[in-house]
Structure 1
Amino acid sequence: MSEFQGKTAVISGGAEGIGLSVARAVGKQGMNVVIGDIDEPQLKLAEQLLCDEGIEVLALPLDVTKPEQWQQIATSAQERFGKIHMLVNNAGVSGTPGVIEKTNIQDWNWVMDVNLMGVIYGTQTLIPLMKQHGEGGWLINVASMAGMIGVPMGQAYTASKVAVVGMSESWRAELTPQNIQVSVLCPAFVQTRINLSSRNKPSEYQTASDNEQEMSPARAAMAEHMQKVIDRGLAVEVVGERVIEAIRANELYIFTHPNYRTVLQKRFEAVDQAFERAAASPLVSHLLDEEIDGFM
């Protein structure tokens, strides 16, 4: 019997893309699936798809920036299925690419509220429920390759995903004693509609530029390029299966694009070289032999 059989997964942003891919993958393993999404018409389509595949599913509206909606998800999931064993913090938005001085504060707030605070609200709501039943479980946070290395013209998105990677590392150490396994998914380009996430942007985050009928030539060119890159991306169906494979192997970092290894190695080499320079500095070299506190 699968270790997932009969257990329950809650997945934010589960109506399409990576969230739906994970929902299908865990459902095939015998899990009950609770999907939440802000896009209610798409949510209904996802619910029907999962039902047609014989997966036990509960589909509920969810704006991840609203803690009270997370609580409603938790209550409804427990009423329908009992215990919750897995949380997949998947909901995310791309923001509007642009240079530093042209990324407005409303866009920063939107990206950070969804990509960062949404993860925090979900985790704070559901992890205590996993601790209570004492059977362990899984916490899967969806970050990005941008969580590993900065993306030019995407500072808000990068900042949010770096934070998700760091929180996942922290929570891994914290939750291992409770037998709750933490993993962070860091894909590169996948065939999703994240580049079109502004279609679901709530009014409180919108600006005049969001309501313009036509994009500037620069933004239009950037949007066209991004669409081509995404169209060449990894098939989204693969991602859910990769998540199952990785959590069975108890992987902290779940990578989907091994070709990016060389990019990260350059970063790690630069970090290592920076430590070498610090070790050679007469100002701080005396710390080499000091005990490390707080990080191990």
Structure 2
Amino acid sequence: MSQENSTSQFQGKTAIISGGAEGIGLSIAKALGEQQMNVVLADIDKDNLERARLELQSLGVPVLAVSLDVADEGQWQSAAEAAVERFGKIHMVVNNAGVGGDSGPIESQEKEGWQWALDVNLMGVVYGAKVIVPLIKEHGEGGWIINVASMAGMGGVPYSGAYNATKAAVVALSEAWSEELKSKSIHVAVLCPAFVQTRIYDSERNRPAQYKSKTLRPGDESSFSKRAREMVQNGIDGALVGKRVVEALNEGELYIFTHPNYRPVVQYRSARIDEAFVNAGKSPLLQHLVDQKLDML
């Protein structure tokens, strides 16, 4: 339902968006700006960040731009302080910043590439929530956490081990945080897009020196990486993603999907998991557990 002619639940509130200078992050920023939110753009790319700030400003969106490497918890603290100084309160964090990481067969994976993906895609989300959630709790008005994962978090993609693992972790974190924060009126959602027209395939441009591969040469690219690049370039328009996020948040959705045509992929995985439970239930070794009461927190 359009919010254009009615009061939006987001109006006058503040969102901080990591990786907000382009792609999905900027799309979400624009969509939230249309809902009359204050927007804090946070990004590691200072040139893109300034261009994005000017674009939002030209659209009449109250905007603040802050430099942020999401893998550095201290920088998250600084970004949060700047946001509070400018807008008073923070109501939403969009943990969007992410990298594609290295791709290729198992034996080609290097520690540096794995650490890069873990620090940005996973710890960047952890730090974002760790820093912002207390600020949302503090004002007591409730709010939102939107974590950007991927369809890769719903089912493994060959030759993308680090990306798969970090995105699956983000899905699991979001599920856990959803239950943990429900009583505080903080809604958690996890965005799982398939291919979207972004520059995720060109993450290398922002790769810090400590994560550089010791053996890969500039320009090295696997056949899988080339195919993935083509699929991203032919993906859906990024502008759709931000609008879809607003739509889903208005409906209180936990999992935000942008590609309904991927439903059979998740259904296939779910069927295999269910079959595994059936097999476990048939095992003579496990009969004493079949009717045992669940032990849950």
Q: Same fold (TM over 0.5)?
A: yes
Could you tell me which residue of structure 2 aligns to residue 44 of structure 1?
Answer: 50
Unaligned 5+ residue runs, structure 1? none
Report whether the alignment pairs 1:276 with 2:278: yes
Q: Does 1:131 align with 2:137?
A: yes
SS at match of 2:239: helix
Q: Which structure 2 residues correspond to residues 121-270 of structure 1 after superposition, within 5 A?
A: 121-210=127-216, 212-215=217-220, 219=221, 221-270=223-272
**Residues in 2 aligned to 1:288 and 1:178: alpha-carbon distance in whole angstroms:** 35
Give the percent of matched residue pairs that are identical in Structure 1 and Structure 2. 54
How far the C-alpha of 1:225 sits from its partner, in A, is: 1.9
**Distance in 1 between the 2:233 and 2:213 partners?**
28
Is the 8 Å Cα contact of residues 104 and 222 (structure 2) preserved in structure 1? no
**Alignment partners' CA distance in 1, 2:72 and 2:116:** 12
Whole-Å separation in 2 of the counterparts to 1:223 and 1:253: 27
Partner of 1:94: 100
Give distance in 2, aligned partners of 1:10 and 1:97: 30
Distance 2:238 2:111 in 1: 31
Matched residue SS, 2:141? coil
Deviation at 1:213, TM superposition (A): 4.2
C-alpha deviation, 1:290, in angstroms: 1.1
CA contact (8 A) 2:70 2:120 kept: yes
What's the RMSD between the two structures over aligned residues? Answer: 1.0
In structure 2, stretches of 5+ residues that fail to align are: 1-6
The amino acid of 1:184's aligned partner reads V
Tell me if 1:11 matches 2:11: no
Written as runs of structure 1 = structure 2, the 5 A alignment for 1:51-130 is 51-130=57-136
Q: How many residues align?
A: 291
C-alpha contact (below 8 Å) 2:122/2:170 kept by paired residues: yes
Q: 1:214 to 1:132 in 2, by over 3 A?
A: closer
1:31 and 2:33 matched: no
Segments of 4+ in structure 1 off by > 4 A? none
State which drifts further: 173-182 or 285-294. Answer: 285-294
Provide TM-score, normalisation by structure 1: 0.96
How much has 1:207 moved relative to structure 2?
Answer: 2.1
The one-letter code matched in structure 1 to 2:74 is: E
Query: 1:11 aligns to what SS in structure 2?
Result: strand
Distance 1:139 1:222 in 2: 32
Residues 198-234 of structure 1: per-residue CA shift (max 9 Å, x gap): 1100011112445x3442xxx2543432222112101
The 3 A distance-change label for structure 1 pair 19 and 52 is same
User: What per-residue deviation string (whole Å, max 9, x for no partner) do you get for residues 69-124 of structure 1?
Assistant: 00001100000000100000000000111111111000000000000000001100
Are 2:106 and 2:159, in contact at CA under 8 Å, matched by a contact in 1? Answer: yes
Q: Specify the alignment match of 2:3 in structure 1.
A: none
Residue 293 of structure 2 is matched in structure 1 by: 291
